[in-house]
Structure 1
């Protein structure tokens, strides 16, 4: 036991928000030290990894046939085990460095609430293969709520809506437990895809994922704005030639309507299943939004319009889960109480 404590003192334990779009790593005593895209570039002929993270993202849609930019996670879970393992190994080595004397870290990983036992095992195995000593899986909305500073251990109803790249996780939390939850495989990626398909249908223009992401960030809105804004976009027409078109914020809101409604309806369904005492706490305290997907303009207003409950953003929505995992690392008893079986 004394040896275990000594080992813990020497090792830099880590929290990993393993997201579909981005991975954030929190190192005990240092804070968030890495925030990079969950993308790996591989040479399909030699199977050699050419780039990971930011470098790999720059290659998306621009690679020759033999180089593939792979996103090894889909809807918050592992879709390519070997590539995820390689990506985790790269990120862990990058933040901790290589040292023979340094013990393997205790690793806490955020995962969606709707994860299956097979998917859980894949995350645990990938982390252990990448160099973790012990692996604890924490539900992402629980981690996001802790990162947002909500009093999760108190007998108070806290509602968190964590919208990432691949999943939207909604949870009502009280006494360090998830009372009601809803995991939806509709989030930021689906918003991008909706924009791509809308532009293809309406403007007969083919655009890539990165252009769709830029459109969403610059002129996207969850509700129809009074003022019309325009944005020039480039892609290729149906004959394959480069073409420039103009898109408006009203068109983007129309493109996103179905996806946004799916998320809002999931929030309403979760509220309907919430015990009355906790629901009254939420009505008083509001709904907290976290995750990159939640940053879509006016999403807070849309949720408030549809539920009648004030929605507000966590202080740092993009890193709420990673910050929460970092806080959990300081409390081994809390890790054991809230980790998934």
Structure 2
């Protein structure tokens, strides 16, 4: 289970990804009664009980996950073994909270995998050699930067905002240029309509919003280039976070990164021209994963299909350390 701030994805052994829904819970404002979860909740003004891969509202997160599991297994008393991604900078208390959450929803076992390692596995990045690899995951509430070597986290950083900051920037630009108010959902949709490709520059996307003076709904055509320009500041913050993370890793790994570069994952990685912009800012190769939004859950899926995978990586790492001590 990839428990993301924006979406929750579940991978089942032998079936692949079987659920991909917003990490949202809709409650009645007056009574507090829960009206819907996931896709049903996203139609209103929902609560988002997950932030940074961790529960910020334990009760709502528990109910949401229980709903998703019942939807997947179609049985109220299913007790699956769970593999979950844990944030790279999570402390012991946060890791314990994630484990407790899994057991509260009746999991009979839980294995926590470092988020960056899961993303790298899902993106097809080799993680069992000594070379340095950078993973940039652009989520809803932040962009996470991690440097891996031999399956182990070497350095990690974070840029606040992530996809949410990009959406706010797009909404501000639409209001400034066209006098049109749009919500975060429409800003996200506009970002997706723009697409990941850099060309052609003259393309336009339709934006649906509300006129603040009349309250009437209105549609405007916005050049894709303007959406690109609106996200300049959030992208620059990701570049700074990546450079700061590189400064904290050994020189030999920094050299590896200059040759092998970084891989982009997460829903925000679909932003048009993002890989090219990061490539320019970081002066290194940057590529987008084949399936950026699903990279983490696909990596967790590899661990589900082969529960000994992480143990194998750990055994290799210990063997290499012993070899270095002998030499």
Band of TM-score, shorter chain: 0.7 to 0.9
The correspondence for 1:239, drawn from 196, 207, 213, is 213
Q: Cα distance, 1:335 vs. partner?
A: 5.8
Are residues 193 and 336 of structure 1, via their aligned partners in 2, closer, same or farther at CA, if it must alter by over 3 Å? farther
Are residues 336 and 79 of structure 1, via their aligned partners in 2, closer, same or farther at CA, if it must alter by over 3 Å? farther
Are residues 328 and 204 of structure 1, via their aligned partners in 2, closer, same or farther at CA, if it must alter by over 3 Å? same
TM-score of the superposed pair, with normalisation by structure 1: 0.82
Residue ranges of structure 2 left out of the alignment (5+ in a row): 315-327
Determine the structure 2 residue equivalent to 1:125.
100
The correspondence for 1:286, drawn from 253, 261, 277, is 261
Secondary structure (helix, strand or coil) at the match of 2:40 reads helix
- 1:96 and 1:56 map into 2 onto residues whose CA distance is 20
CA contact 1:160–1:288 (8 Å) conserved in 2: yes
Say whether residues 1:261 and 2:246 are aligned partners: no
Say whether residues 1:309 and 2:284 are aligned partners: yes
Determine the structure 1 residue equivalent to 2:324.
none
Are residues 239 and 114 of structure 1, via their aligned partners in 2, closer, same or farther at CA, if it must alter by over 3 Å? farther
CA contact 1:76–1:167 (8 Å) conserved in 2: no
- 2:179 and 2:2 map into 1 onto residues whose CA distance is 37
Determine the structure 1 residue equivalent to 2:150.
175
CA RMSD of aligned residues (A): 2.5
Q: Cα distance, 1:18 vs. partner?
A: 0.4
Determine the structure 2 residue equivalent to 1:219.
194
Q: Per-residue displacement from partner, 1:190-215 (whole Å, max 9, x unpaired)? A: 11112122323443321111211121
Are residues 121 and 196 of structure 1, via their aligned partners in 2, closer, same or farther at CA, if it must alter by over 3 Å? farther
Most deviating of 127-136 and 198-207: 198-207
Say whether residues 1:146 and 2:146 are aligned partners: no
- 2:5 and 2:142 map into 1 onto residues whose CA distance is 8
The correspondence for 2:66, drawn from 55, 66, 89, is 89
Determine the structure 2 residue equivalent to 1:228.
202
Determine the structure 1 residue equivalent to 2:2.
17
Are residues 222 and 229 of structure 1, via their aligned partners in 2, closer, same or farther at CA, if it must alter by over 3 Å? closer
Secondary structure (helix, strand or coil) at the match of 1:83 reads helix
Q: Where do residues 39-188 of structure 1 align in structure 2 (5 Å cutoff)? A: 39-57=24-42, 59-60=43-44, 68-98=45-75, 104-188=79-163
Q: How many residues align?
A: 312
- 1:335 and 1:191 map into 2 onto residues whose CA distance is 38
CA contact 1:170–1:181 (8 Å) conserved in 2: yes
- 1:187 and 1:153 map into 2 onto residues whose CA distance is 29
The correspondence for 1:331, drawn from 297, 307, 311, is 307
Are residues 336 and 190 of structure 1, via their aligned partners in 2, closer, same or farther at CA, if it must alter by over 3 Å? farther
Q: Per-residue displacement from partner, 1:48-90 (whole Å, max 9, x unpaired)? A: 3322212222x13xxxxxxx52221234332222111111101
- 1:35 and 1:163 map into 2 onto residues whose CA distance is 17
- 1:151 and 1:220 map into 2 onto residues whose CA distance is 28
- 2:181 and 2:94 map into 1 onto residues whose CA distance is 34
Q: Cα distance, 1:99 vs. partner?
A: 6.6
- 2:87 and 2:160 map into 1 onto residues whose CA distance is 10
- 2:109 and 2:276 map into 1 onto residues whose CA distance is 41
Which ranges of 4 or more aligned residues in structure 1 deviate by more than 4 Å? 220-223, 335-338
Secondary structure (helix, strand or coil) at the match of 1:205 reads coil
Residue ranges of structure 1 left out of the alignment (5+ in a row): 1-15, 61-67
TM-score of the superposed pair, with normalisation by structure 2: 0.86
Say whether residues 1:206 and 2:206 are aligned partners: no
Q: Per-residue displacement from partner, 1:285-309 (whole Å, max 9, x unpaired)? A: 2211111111111111111111221
CA contact 1:222–1:257 (8 Å) conserved in 2: no
